[in-house]
Amino acid sequence: MIRYALRCDKGHEFDGWFRSSDGFESLRAAGQVTCTHCGSTTVDKALMAPRVAQGRDEAADLHSPRNEHEAVLEKLRRHVEENSDYVGMSFASEARAMHEGLAPERAIHGEAKLEDARRLLEEGIPVAPLPFRSRQRAH
């Protein structure tokens, strides 16, 4: 995974993690890299210094929030993961089944292709993107 310092066209700075440089470019070209502050899709890499690990204790530091925004996101992540079921890539079909009364209603989170999420919204099924990926995500 690669961490990039990012900046939107409004000047907001934030970080993003990507599988590779090509992965970042593909997601950005598809409009899927958005500013965490304003939602702008005009995002570029900002200058950043490389980070070199000093020792074993720094691995634990990678999971600690570095600022107030990360602390709030971590609190939201914990709340979502503790209070909803992770359904993975079955999110769209689960949400649709609950909406149609074919499955019991419950809080869920998972993953969906952009076109599947759009279809859910067009069908009047309320969904919203989360500003993080679940730790339960299957690899």
Residue 24 within any structural domain of the chain:
yes
Residue 27 within any structural domain of the chain:
yes
Domain identity same for 130 and 78: yes
Residue 52 within any structural domain of the chain:
no
> What is the DSSP track for the chain?
-EEEEEEETT--EEEEEES-HHHHHHHHHTT----TTT--S-EEEPP-PPP---STHHHHHTTS--SHHHHHHHHHHHHHHHHSEE-GGGHHHHHHHHHTTSS----EE----HHHHHHHHHTT------SS--TT---
The tens digit of pLDDT for each residue in 48-107 reads 666 665 555 555 556 677 888 888 888 998 999 999 999 999 999 999 999 999 999 999
Report field, pTM of the whole predicted structure over 0.85 = no
Domain identity same for 70 and 4: no
Mean pLDDT (the chain) is 86
Domain identity same for 10 and 40: yes
Domain identity same for 81 and 123: yes
Domain identity same for 130 and 92: yes
- The C-alpha atoms of residue 88 and residue 112 are separated, in whole angstroms, by 8
Helix (H, G, I), strand (E, B) or coil at 2: strand
131 has pLDDT over 90: no
- For tokens 């304003």, name the residue: 38
Residue 55 within any structural domain of the chain:
no
pLDDT of residue 137: 57
What is the count of structural domains for the chain?
2
Quote the domain boundaries for residue 116.
64-139
Q: Using 50, 70 and 90 to split pLDDT, how confident is the model at 44?
A: very high
139 has pLDDT over 80: no
- The C-alpha atoms of residue 126 and residue 66 are separated, in whole angstroms, by 32
pLDDT of residue 49: 63
- Max alpha carbon distance in the chain (Å)? 54
Distances (CA, A) of 121 to 27, 61, 126: 21, 38, 6
